[in-house]
Structure 1
Amino acid sequence: YFYWYINGNNNASDLSSTYSEWTYYPTISNIGINNITLIIFNADWTEFRINWQVNVTSVNMPPIVTEPHIWVEGMGPASRSPYITDTVECYSGDYSDLDGDPQNESGTGWKWYVNGADVSSNKTLNLSSYNQKDNLTCAQRVQDSYGLYSSWTNSSTVQINGSQAIVTELNTNANSSVVLKKGEIININVTAIDPDNDNYIMYVCTVYTTSSSGCPAGTEMCNSSFVSSGSVAACTYNTSDDNVTIGPEIFNYYVYICDTEGVCSAAPYMLDYALYVNQEGSLILNKGWNLIALPASYIYENGSEKIMDAEEFLIYINGSMVAYYNATLQKYFIHMLGSSVNNFLIRNDESYYVYLDANTTLNMDGKTIAPFTKQLKTGWNFINYPTIIDADTILQQPSAFQHVYRYSVGKGTGKLIKYSKTESGTNFNTELGFGIIIYSDTNAVLNYTG
């Protein structure tokens, strides 16, 4: 019989053997000098004892695994807090081994704890058997290629949430299909069903968030009060607070809901709207001919941006004829109401002669005209200069500009009033909504700076 001892210990089963060969893997506790004893008994129980020492300088170190993570199955790092309707996954921490031993993947172990009780040894856990607000922890251990295990490493503990409220309807007048005037009110209405029959609240923010405490400071647009499951949550926002100079400018916003248990939307609804600064005013037009220009860039109808053609323009101003002077061709084109001939587009950098059958006060609105550069031709150019400026200042632009004219309407008649660089005359101011004519000696550029 053969009996093996290491440091006098043969109590553990792996430290004794009745065989002449014995294999033992030292652990970290065996670093240094180890006393080995072999006792041999023959058939008449005569004892032979042999002693020697083994100096262990290195051993197989156990592997290490960092903290695993609890993720909702299939969602990965972007995972939210788990709900009782979810299956969760214990996602592996990082494996390392001081000896550089590779991992034995099949030796990986898992545990799930609910409120501290060990409930499963699988990698995933379905939460339908547990309760809202139960505490959930997973643990992992790993094994190296020599069969040595790490200690168990726990994940952070998370709380199981109740079910999310489900949005069944969202209505708003602020979406990508409309353009709003600054100062208009945005209405947002949401209807949601909560499987737990909890009340819920709606938050509307300018940033992406699903915090149960609402929008981060400075990003709030509006929020509703708490309403019962199935009822409408509503709030309003005044666009006067938006920072827009001319527009249209795009503004994004996010809508999400949270119930009374703090369970919020997995992701908010992202919406946007376009906003412009509206200009409003009146033009007093006389019977007969008027030289007019759009004082605003476009006309907005039902929130939609619109560029008018000559026919639409005549209907809008209640006119019967509109004349356009083409500076390149040096000729007029006339469109008559109801005709399909010369139905040209109305540009915001041009001016037009229009004929009205009666005196008219035209109420107009639209977007402030942005700065532009216009190429003028030699000769006459019919221009819209959409801000108040005096004629002398206009003539200070290119040296080629020689004369500026405005059209003065009298009692049923009209005439051009001229201001010239080279001739005596009275300087005059332009008027919003009324055109001017510039005579240039050569092709030149007019800069409208806004």
Structure 2
Amino acid sequence: MITLQHRSIAHFDMDSFFVSVECREDNSLKGKPLLVGGLGDRAVVAACSYEARRYGIHSAMPMKTALKLCPHALIRRGDMELYSNLSREITDIIAEKAPLYEKSSIDEFYLDLTGMDKFFGSMKWTIELRQHIIRKMKLPVSFGLASNKMISKVATNEAKPNGQKEIIFGEEKSFLAPMPVEKLPMVGKETAGQLRRRGVETVKTLSEIPVALLEAWLGKNGISLWNKANGIDESPVVPYHEQKSISTESTFPTDTIDMKFMHAELVRMTEKIAFELRQQDKLAGCVTVKLRYSDFETVTRQMTIPYTGSDHILLEKVKELFHKLYDKRLLVRLIGVRFSHLVQGNYQISLFDDTQEMIALYQAIDHIKNRFGWQYLMKGTNAIPPAKQPKAEVTPFPRKTK
């Protein structure tokens, strides 16, 4: 018999975060089909309101397609800087109240409230925190409370929009049983299709299939699916202050004042760790540049930025910081770049300016880098052939933020 550890985990999700922020800024948008994203026909939908979803619109859909489905939809350009700042405000509220929390994306949080029932009551405490966030931020938020992260996330999805739901310990399987298999986290169309072709449509049916058979069908993913279908998830809430940073440094063979060379190094390092960032499905909220002169004086400067994982945005910030730092016009022996304040999230959500072609370009670039190596595809104007690159001291990913 499998014994579930009796924990108390809350999952908070800011409902349709980008859309909700736009409605907060302009009350006239409430209750209307609203699209957040680029304004051109070749742009994509970054987020959409519940009213727009009724027309079959979803995020990452071409804006042109969305407008065919709902010609009277309203479009807002989107403000990633505003969304990022509000996300940080919400994080501060949760950090002040919660004993242990994990920021899993720009608008999602897990809170470990295990043991709180002895003193206050987990559900009562969580309700009060939700109400506090709503009052202070003027934004809707839903939560699910359960014995593990997976169940709490599914419960949150069932509570939306702007609701709350508790799954009592021991009732995890009965809660999941009638749901279609797509309701389980990480079960996409392809996996659901494979299961349905074998007659598996509900979580209850999935939970009753021998785990060995699921493994034969789906490989290691089959074991994970069996655990989910049976309400099992032992993954811990990872404290947000332990979120990792990613960085790299380059020590030059000869101290230099060559601006063209240093710019090339900035491009090379930024593209390298931005690629690693996207490989981890993360977004960065802070950029730091380090400079060491020939006299060994070391200076650093950092900048909080809207969450992103895009080369062109990160490189712009890196170059801006470098030019603010490099004010002595002395020989330089080392340059370092670091991305921190990392959160989970697909980099596409920050591409409000970009078209379908830009998104496809990033996907193609990452595919090539995955196949041949990150160093074989860089910006041509600044790239240095791999054989001529100086030896670099590379800080491996991940590394704890100090």
How does the TM-score come out when normalised to structure 1? Answer: 0.19
Richer in helix (by share): 2
Instruction: Work out which structure has the larger RCO, using CA pairs closer than 8 Å and 6 or more positions apart in sequence.
Output: 2
- Structure number with greater Rg is 1
Richer in strand (by share): 1
How does the TM-score come out when normalised to structure 2? Answer: 0.20
